[in-house]
Copies of this chain bind each other. A is one copy, B any other.
Amino acid sequence: MDKHTVIEEAIALIPNGADIMIGGFGSPGTPFTLIEELLRQGQTDLTLIKNDANETGIGISRLIENGQVKKLITTHIGLNKKVVDLMNDGSLEVSFFPQGILAEKIRTAGAGSFGFLTDIGLHSEITDKKDIIDWQGKQVKIEPALYANFALFHAGRADTFGNLTYRATAMNFCPLMAMAAETVIVETPNLVTPGSIAPETVHTPSAFVSKVVKIDASGPEYDLMEGRYEP
């Protein structure tokens, strides 16, 4: 039940061509240290699933800039001009979903269901007519669940069994991805013994977690970014 492991072994589980969900809405929740190791090990042809592309030079943008990523499934990459350019020149395939729909597709996989029925964007250009069905007297869209081989994200605190808590807005997609991916690798700066996290405050129960890696989190990615606060 002890899932604590070293980062090299955890990331070495990932083969070329893997589908990987990456936690984080912007920086909070992004597993910068796990990403760094993935960059070092150099797995290629990856499909990444993340809310955004981080910003140029940090997080998954580094994997994309390094040519390790074949496809990005995301919701908004407006804060990363470099990745927008790579998309526009055709070197990166990008697939967009509305933010809550991406979250719900992942959560639906996490619940062991195959898809859900929605009306979001039903008559917009994001909907392919073949996904629309007539059901109970109205038109609805079938949105398929989105599974992945791996999920990588950051947790503010974890015990060695893999019970997790997230800090503030670092929660975002992480608990959903934990449920949806086959193998779930978590980095945390605060690794504690089982029993240290009150069972009522656990955000992600250990059953959804495969590997826990203790990290340092002293790098600049984990610190404040300039210009994003009031002077």
Contacts and interface: CB of A to CB of B under 8 A. Distances in A.
Interface in A2-61: none
Interface residues of A, number: 26
Interface stretch (A108-116, A181-189, A214-222): A108-116
How many copies of this chain does the complex contain?
Answer: 2
A81 interface: no
A198 to B, nearest CB: 9
A160 interface: no
A117 B142 contact: yes
A108 B114 contact: no
A205 to B, nearest CB: 12
A114 B142 contact: no
A136 B115 CA distance: 11
A168 interface: yes
Contacts of A140: 114-115
B114 A117 contact: yes
Contacts of A201: 200-201
A146 to B, nearest CB: 13
Contact of A114 (B104, B107, B119, B145): B119
Given A111-B116, A135-B142, A165-B200, 19 more contacts: A104-B111, A104-B113, A108-B116, A112-B118, A113-B117, A113-B118, A114-B116, A114-B117, A114-B118, A114-B119, A114-B135, A115-B116, A115-B140, A116-B117, A117-B142, A117-B145, A168-B199, A200-B201, A201-B201
Interface of A: 104, 107-108, 111-119, 133, 135-136, 140, 142, 144-145, 165-168, 199-201
12 contacts: A104-B113, A107-B111, A112-B118, A114-B116, A114-B135, A114-B140, A115-B135, A116-B117, A133-B133, A168-B200, A200-B201, A201-B201
